[in-house]
Amino acid sequence: MDNAQKAIMVGVGLFITIIIIAAVMLITGMGQELITGGQTQVSNISESLQAQLTSDFDNSTITGAQVISAIKRYYQDENMILAIKSSNTYTHYGKITGTLSANGSYYEVPSVSTNSSPASIGGLSSPTDASYIPSTRKYSANLVKVKGTDNVIGIVFEAK
């Protein structure tokens, strides 16, 4: 009887161990699904927030003061292209840059890269500085999207 009791105890212990391992695997699988779903939701929220923040500049006419304010707000954002277009030349202020091409009411960029030499924002409102933006001048603001998607990654201000 002593051996039978030991065999039963070992069997019950083994059964309990299998149940615990199965429960841990089930919980781990559910946790991974939750993490994946959470990452997707955060990504969607981020994209919609970016679109909401930049919707004021979607194909609109704004003043130089608003341009200065937008540049000061977004120039350190590592996910924004900021450019001022005057006479077919672009001055980039953001931490990223790309080759811009007009596509109707917005600009497209096939890819982005780090902007190693962004323009200084120190003299935007100083008339003696080369990067001066007159506060009363009118600018056309257009969004920049990644080519083939609706992801907004920047703003182009075109002097009128």
Q: What is the pLDDT of residues 35-80, one digit of tens each?
A: 888 888 887 777 777 667 777 788 889 999 998 988 888 888 888 8
Amino acid at position 8, single letter: I
- Residues of the chain short of pLDDT 70, as ranges, are 1, 50-51, 130
What value does the CA radius of gyration of the chain take, rounded to a whole number of Å? 28
| Other beta carbons within 10 Å of 95 | 19
Burial 100-119 (b: 16+ CB within 10 A, else e): beeeeebbbbeebeebeebb
The CA distance from 132 to 39, in Å, is 42
pLDDT at residue 112, as a whole number: 84
Please report the pLDDT score of residue 113 as a whole number.
85
Count Cβ atoms below 10 Å from residue 131 Cβ, excluding itself.
16
Predicted pLDDT of residue 31: 86
Quote the pTM value.
Answer: 0.65
| Residue 109 CB partners (closer than 8 Å, separation 6+) | 81, 98, 99, 100, 101, 144, 145, 146, 147, 153, 154
